[in-house]
Amino acid sequence: MKRVALFLSIFSLTLLSHASSSNITQKWKLVWEDEFNATTGSPIDSKKWSAEIGGSGWGNNELQYYTDRPINSFQSEGFLNIKMLKEQFTGLKNVTRDYTSARLITKKTFTTTYGRIEARIKVPQGQGIWPAFWMLGNDIDKVGWPRCGEIDIMENIGKEPSMIHGTVHGPGYSGAKGITSSYSLKEKKFADDFHVFAVEWEPDAIRFYCDDAHYKTITPRDLPPGTKWVYDHPHFILLNVAVGGNWPGKPDATTTFPQTMLVDYVRVYERVP
């Protein structure tokens, strides 16, 4: 009887999984993806991603130096690995940092306006660790930040192991004034397993999801008076893990290295008419 019950349970879960997948494909059409299925040890796919380089603090007093080295970002066993190391590293302009990591972007290869943007990720953990899956407006070099717009699909900081944040930043509502919400697992940690983080971005709404739980919708009505909705033009995708910074604080004696963020896939869908 136990085997029968187990079979029925697995069969039911399979049906639910297929139903969920079918629901997505009925509403949305896949237009871009990276499944990270290259041979183990392969670098990132340069036709889809490029690595930003630097250790200037990135506007947040971060402590890492982002490199394009395969030791900090590579594919392995079907996953993208973004690996943080505690090491003294000297990069461009003789900037020396005590940590290295990676910040990957699709700025030169892919942008999208609207759609469902999702990734299945297992975040790293520890005080001062700051993983993120997010988007920036492709006009950032012309108009600057935050006028370009920023959509943070998922951010997690190590001192909040059971919570993720979804946020938008624009002119007049950026930084600590960004329009934000959070989603909590309560008794579990995000670093314990993979989770699917997504937004459904449409002309007048951005909906935030964690494992298909819809936890926030942001619309132009949520903006401060006199400010502008800047999410009506192409954005590119970013994946990175910062070390330290104004928000997460510094690593401490409890933080272990190396730490790795694993990304199973990134997928972008467009709405089916």
Q: How far apart are CA 161 and CA 220, in angstroms?
A: 30
Annotated catalytic residues are 150, 155
- 99 closest CA partner among 136, 147, 38, 58: 58
Residues 60-119 pLDDT 10s:
999 999 999 999 999 999 999 999 999 999 999 999 999 999 999 999 999 999 999 999
Domain that holds residue 115: 31-271
237 touches 154 (CB < 8 A): no
**Residue 250: which CATH number?**
2.60.120.200
The set of residues, in sequence order, having a beta carbon less than 8 Å from that of 240 and lying 6+ positions away, is 66, 82, 101, 102, 103, 104, 131, 132
Does residue 206 lie in a domain region? Answer: yes
How confident is the prediction along the chain (273 residues), in pLDDT tens digits per residue?
Answer: 433 343 333 334 344 334 444 456 679 999 999 999 999 999 999 999 999 999 999 999 999 999 999 999 999 999 999 999 999 999 999 999 999 999 999 999 999 999 999 999 999 999 999 999 999 999 999 999 999 999 999 999 999 999 999 999 999 999 999 999 999 998 899 999 999 999 999 999 999 999 989 999 999 999 999 999 999 999 999 999 999 999 999 999 999 999 999 999 999 999 998
Phi, psi angles (nearest 5°) of residue 117: -115, 120
How many independent structural domains does the chain possess?
A: 1
Q: How far apart are CA 216 and CA 209, in angstroms?
A: 7
Does residue 258 lie in a domain region? Answer: yes
